[in-house]
Amino acid sequence: MTDVTAERPALADLSQKLGVDIDPELLSLALTHRSWAYEHGQGPHNERLEFLGDSVLGQAVTVRLFTRHPDLDEGALAKRRAGVVSTVALAEIARGIDLGSHVMLGRGEDLTGGRDKDSILADTMEAVIGATYLAVGPEAATALVLRLVEPLLDDPDRYGAAIDPKTSLQELAARIGTPPPVYHVTATGPDHDRTFVATVSVGAVVAEGTGSSKKHAEMAAALRAWHELSARA
């Protein structure tokens, strides 16, 4: 386990953003990526907390959508839930609280842009939710989830963008008369651990995204471009 003493000011800042008082050692574990653990003697990492947080997240979002939208059928509810709990959506939420700056990564993962990688941000966000559940109980964990996802729940247009950002971006560009998106992807790292960086240009908007695959990098770039183009439109 990492020494959390030096991390306490940063962890306190994150706890304040979350609005939850989480034990520093437990929160530190939630922020520990397996790459950091492997570089420090195979210590514990956050994947078990991620497993727990995924369940807490899914239940909280399901119940909120079910009670808020009595008019929607199962298919519509499932689509909205998928958008809110998707990797892309969770990464967006994580960026909103600057979670990436707190994640403890191995050197290689850090040097290849891991702090802004959708998969790492989303998994860490789930681990933090799991830590909240253990630290302060199910009610506080549910309240945290709902605070974090509320912007998505209140903006139906984001459901489609979060689930399929490339299609949503293309449709938005066509609707406002902008040339279709053009993607350019590069890759770095060894074959077994590639990091992809995608750049998308659509009109005057240029956005970048990273991911563990070409598809994920393009999705991340497309979602950022969609938000910027939506704001301009």
Measured N-to-C along each axis, helices 87-96 and 74-85 cross at an angle, to the nearest 10 degrees, of 50
pLDDT band at 156 (very low <50, low <70, confident <90, very high): low
According to the annotation, is 123 in a ligand binding site? yes
Lowest-pLDDT choice from 5-19, 25-39, 63-77, 194-208: 5-19
92 as an active site residue: the answer is no
- Tokens 């078990």 found at: 48
Nearest alpha-carbon partner for 121 in 99, 105, 104, 102: 99
Q: For 190-200, what is each residue's pLDDT tens digit?
A: 777 788 899 99
Catalytic residue among 92, 116, 126, 164: 126
pLDDT of residue 3: 45
Sequence-distant (≥ 6) Cβ neighbours of residue 9 within 8 angstroms: none
Bridge partner list, 187: 196
Number of helices (H), then strands (E), belonging to the chain: the values are 12, 3
25 as an active site residue: the answer is no
According to the annotation, is 157 in a ligand binding site? no
Q: For 48-85, what is each residue's pLDDT tens digit?
A: 999 999 999 999 999 999 999 999 899 888 888 888 88
DSSP state of 42: S
pLDDT of residue 161: 73
Catalytic residue among 54, 92, 116, 218: 54
According to the annotation, is 126 in a ligand binding site? yes
pLDDT of residue 7: 47
pLDDT band at 157 (very low <50, low <70, confident <90, very high): low
